[in-house]
Amino acid sequence: MVIGVNAAADELGWWPSPFGAEDELGMLNHIDEAKRLEALSLVREGRMYDLGRVLDENCPVLPGRYFRQTLVTTAHHANDGGGLGTGDVNWVTELVTGTMQLGTHLDALCHMQIGERGYNGWSVTELASNTGMKRLGVDTVPQIVTRGWLVDAAAARGVERLGPGEVITPDDVAGIEPSPGDAVLVHTGWGAHWDDADAYLEGEPGPGTDLAAWLVDHGVALTGCDTWSYGPVPAEDPARPFEVPQTLNVRHGVFVVENLDTSALAAAGVREFCLILTHPKLRGATGAWTSPIALV
């Protein structure tokens, strides 16, 4: 049973993790050599689907988050239009600033809490520092190769896209049989709003608490959606916003990827695939930009 958020959350407790009191990997513990080989065996045609979004200053962002890219070094100017050496070598360099919590990104297990406690019961006030989290940062997360499943919730309901607050349930995942360590990605069609930030951020459809429980029961290591968070907004229970990612991330150590582009994968009717997700290992960061791929 998945327990929702309430005032007595700390008293209820969800730690230590079944993987141990010092564990920082959560459900990723299920991904081993056999799981990776199983995933790679699904690649038979060589087709690749890019699941990541292009990052720029116009991408949808929540308040307090931003992305900026500025050219800061043009060696042509530094060298009066010439170059270095007899080969006239030159280069251009950029400065990128912003948060990891935008664009297609992987949430580390330190990103969400219930009250002040996160995965495995660690206190955010004990782990937080000016330069990052002392534990559970995205630098502790291994690169991921596993079997992936696509839930095309829009097709299951016969629509192009679901609406804000629409709840995806276990009834929408018929035919999907993940095993421990698998990834389950969800296509809602909401990503079609990506180029209209106001429309994209006004709400979102997403997996509800029953589907979250289903994912946990199947030992799913990672899940993601073509939306800016994970779970319906408005929430099933307005008093418990973001209960679904909170439950997955904090209570069960299931990793979440947001702002996926699942449109091509869904259009091709792909159900099962090899998922490869890599990310920069930023020490103590709450997440990292990623551009995962699906191979079939």
Q: Of 275, 270, 269, 272, which Cα lies nearest the Cα of 294?
A: 275
Which residue in this structure is represented by tokens 């720029």?
A: 56
Residue 242 within any structural domain of the chain: yes
Based on the fold, state whether residues 126 and 231 are members of the same structural domain.
yes
pLDDT score at 9: 41
Alpha-carbon distance of 157 to 166, in angstroms, equals: 11
Segments of the chain scoring below 70 in pLDDT: 1-12, 75-79
Based on the fold, state whether residues 233 and 198 are members of the same structural domain.
yes
Based on the fold, state whether residues 87 and 216 are members of the same structural domain.
no
Residue 149 within any structural domain of the chain: yes
Residue 272 within any structural domain of the chain: yes
Residue 123 within any structural domain of the chain: yes
Based on the fold, state whether residues 77 and 162 are members of the same structural domain.
no
Based on the fold, state whether residues 32 and 82 are members of the same structural domain.
no
pTM, two decimals, is 0.93
CA dist 109 → 35, 88, 197 (Å): 22, 47, 27
Based on the fold, state whether residues 94 and 107 are members of the same structural domain.
no
Model confidence pLDDT, tens digit, residues 22-70: 999 999 999 999 999 999 999 999 999 999 999 999 999 999 999 999 9
Residue 79 within any structural domain of the chain: yes
Based on the fold, state whether residues 184 and 197 are members of the same structural domain.
yes
pLDDT score at 5: 35
pLDDT score at 87: 84
Residue-number span of the structural domain to which 187 is assigned: 11-55+100-295
Based on the fold, state whether residues 88 and 191 are members of the same structural domain.
no
